[in-house]
Structure 1
Amino acid sequence: MKIVVLGLSITSSWGNGHATTYRGLLREMDRRGHEILFLERDARWYEAHRDLPEPPFCRTLLYGSLDELFSEYGPEICDADCVIVGSYVYQGIEVGKWVSRHARGIKAFYDIDTPVTLAALARGECQYLSEDLIPCYDLYLSFTGGPTLDHLERHYGSRAARPLYCSVDPLVHFPMPVTPRWDLGYLGTYSDDRQPGLEQLLFQPAFHWRKGRFVVAGAQYPASLKWPENTHHIEHLPPECHSEFYSSQRFTLNLTRRQMLVAGYSPSVRLFEAAACAVPVVSDRWPGLEEFFTPGEEILVASSAEEMLRFLQRFPEEARRAIGERARARVLGHHSAACRAEELEEYLTSL
């Protein structure tokens, strides 16, 4: 198939998790024989941080305005077998309406931020999707499964809401033979609704366990933030450094945004990435977690600083490594980019 994707970014992973998702998925779609064009708005904040300016598995073109997008690339959008518009695309409503009117192939919306999207729709503040646009898409691909899919069809009139969860790229995320430098780490861009969890499950253990070693990697943290003395902050970590980063931790922390906690069934891409590196993950609690990992066997769950400290200070080393290995096996078998490409192909073929 000829597939056109209009997404937030594939050239830069700075401050977003979309790029790594698109890279793994589209590389695997390319391997399955599909021809892909990725159209990305030329945003100034990504310009200085393009860690993959020319992906080898798809043709990537940048545009500066909607006029340029439709005049230069409109014919390719119209002739594609499938057009996928992603969440957080700038002027996404206008893009989606144009695609729904002119594209002759399958029209799909890929929501990498489903709970955030639905919360914004409920407030009437979503900038990239509107209620009247949802039924115009033949397929709603969602990072969130469970009851949310039924809600999309019944309440918003989606023609077909299907899960296309985030995934991990085994070529990028894998265990590395390094000695752990940190007892607990976290990888994620700053978010107001994740910060309380970070302070409870990483900052507080760091304050109480002065001999422990902690690390946080991610952009956009406020300059006024008070970091524990034994916590190292890395401003930006490109995807090719993630494996070494995770492998350098005894445990890694997974945190879930508030809307995703409410919706449930919303695994984060960082969760799968860490598990693929065979580092034991300690996660906050969220509905549907057990559908992706078995608590106590493939993942650990903490609700307080005290629980986290017990894992960090008392968990047997052999059991720690075993949890990481079981999580890696689960991810490679069910949550790789190749698995998602196969699922996407099945959805498109059925339409």
Structure 2
Amino acid sequence: MKIVLFYHSLLSDWNHGNAHFLRGIVQELKARHHQVQVFEPENGWSLQNLVNEYGQEKLKELQQYYPGLETNFYNLKTLDLDVILQDADLVLVHEWSEHELVKRVGEHRTRSNYKLLFHDTHHRAVTEKQSMAAYDLTHYDGVLAFGEVIKNIYLQEKWTKKAYTWHEAADTTVFYPHSKTEVEGDLVWIGNWGDEERTAELHEFLINPVKDLGLKAKIYGVRYPEHALKSLADAGIEYGGWLPNYKAPEEFAKYKVTVHVPRRPYVQALPGIPTIRPFEALSCGIPLITAPWEDAEHLFTAGQDFLVAQNGEEMKKHLQTILSDNNKAQELATTGLKTIQQRHTCAHRVNELEKVCEKLEIDSAKIYGNKNEETVYEK
């Protein structure tokens, strides 16, 4: 197939967690000999922040982890959809795109033969409903939603007639267990502060337990306000700033445990959506402890793939268990990794996307080429 993707950024993961999944999907599609082109807005905020703070060198470094990864830049004023979408079979437009782009691609769809999907990977269908309702999906063939609850919102609100659940997953070509050459500390956490959407939770499940237990810990991420940095310093936690997403596996290998602290909108209104962070940790073979979230779609098995702490005191107990019991830690890491490898890789998600293409009646010869259809992954 010829596939065209409109996303916020392929090159930058500065405050842009979806870059992990997008990069993995693009590389997997290319490995299956699909023609893939990605378009991102010129002067996009994520890429601009990355370049302004760290320079162009980081873009060269990306190629070491994702050989041949390419993107294209567009300007809405000069964007020629007739040229970009010529002979396309499938077009995906991400929900971080401007309303004008979403509308224009939809209108172009009425004069073309490709199939067009809107891809939602965020909580704005709940937290910014007015903005999401303003997207004109009239001429789209459906929505790819990264959780059942998001899919149902699109259908209930009649924003679309068809929607498919398409969870994020781990790119195991980059996110895999690295050899532990030398342990540098007890706990590592990789994540952004979260726009005050989880401030209390970060204190209860991360900062306070580290301080109370006297752990050697390091935190990576961006957009940490002064009060957050002060709290980290007070707890004796080293702050590492922005970490390129592709370097996370190397950091996980230097520590004994990590935690997941979901943002409040996911816990309260979007059960079943863990975001990319647990996929990243589990695929790298590091023991994971999470703050509470409802795995409504049974992606994992709590207590086997990871431990769940209902409150700060339970988090401290779980941390003590993992740090003092090597057998328990290894068992947890092994089981979590196995679950990722069996069910939650970007290869699995491309299999699911190909099934959606079947439902959209794209020619199976274009979808699968010479591949035996019987090997396609079924969830």
TM norm. shorter chain > 0.5: yes
Separation in 1, partners of 2:144, 2:226: 37
Separation in 2, partners of 1:168, 1:37: 21
Which residue of 2 is the match for residue 186 of structure 1? 189
After TM superposition, the runs of 4+ consecutive aligned structure 1 residues lying more than 4 A away are 52-59
Which residue of 1 is the match for residue 374 of structure 2? none
Q: In the alignment, residue 136 of structure 1 is paired with which amino acid?
A: H
Separation in 1, partners of 2:339, 2:332: 11
Which residue of 1 is the match for residue 140 of structure 2? 137
Contact 1:38/1:58 (8 A) holds in 2: no
Q: In the alignment, residue 303 of structure 1 is paired with which amino acid?
A: Q
Q: In the alignment, residue 112 of structure 1 is paired with which amino acid?
A: T
Q: In the alignment, residue 255 of structure 1 is paired with which amino acid?
A: V
Of the candidates 161, 164, 173, which is equivalent to residue 162 of structure 1? 164
Q: In the alignment, residue 171 of structure 1 is paired with which amino acid?
A: T
| DSSP 3-state at the match of 2:226 | coil
Which residue of 2 is the match for residue 342 of structure 1? 351
Separation in 2, partners of 1:269, 1:196: 21
Contact 1:295/1:301 (8 A) holds in 2: yes
Which residue of 1 is the match for residue 265 of structure 2? 259
Separation in 2, partners of 1:151, 1:249: 39
Which residue of 1 is the match for residue 312 of structure 2? 305
Of the candidates 319, 323, 331, which is equivalent to residue 340 of structure 2? 331
| DSSP 3-state at the match of 1:224 | helix
Q: Deviations over 1:213-258 (max 9, x none)?
A: 1121101101332213421111111123211211222221112122
Matches within 5 A, 1:1-351: 1-43=1-43, 44-48=48-52, 51-52=58-59, 56=67, 59-63=70-74, 65-68=75-78, 70-71=79-80, 73-89=81-97, 92-103=98-109, 104=112, 105-113=114-122, 115-121=123-129, 124=130, 126=131, 129-131=132-134, 133-145=136-148, 147-178=149-180, 179-191=182-194, 192-210=196-214, 212-225=215-228, 226=230, 227=232, 228-261=234-267, 262-288=269-295, 291-315=298-322, 316-351=325-360
Which sections of structure 2, spanning at least 5 residues, go unmatched?
361-379
Q: Deviations over 1:277-328 (max 9, x none)?
A: 1111111212226712111111100122211111122342201110111000
Q: In the alignment, residue 119 of structure 2 is paired with which amino acid?
A: Y
More displaced stretch, 154-163 vs 44-53: 44-53
Which sections of structure 1, spanning at least 5 residues, go unmatched?
none
The total of aligned residue pairs comes to 338
Provide the identity percentage.
Answer: 25
CA displacement at 1:46 relative to structure 2 = 4.0
- Quote the RMSD (CA, aligned, Å): 2.0
Separation in 1, partners of 2:125, 2:156: 16
Separation in 2, partners of 1:74, 1:57: 26
TM-score by length of 2: 0.84
Summarize the Cα distance change of 1:67–1:170 in structure 2 as closer, same or farther, 3 Å threshold.
Answer: same
CA displacement at 1:8 relative to structure 2 = 0.7
Contact 1:36/1:58 (8 A) holds in 2: no
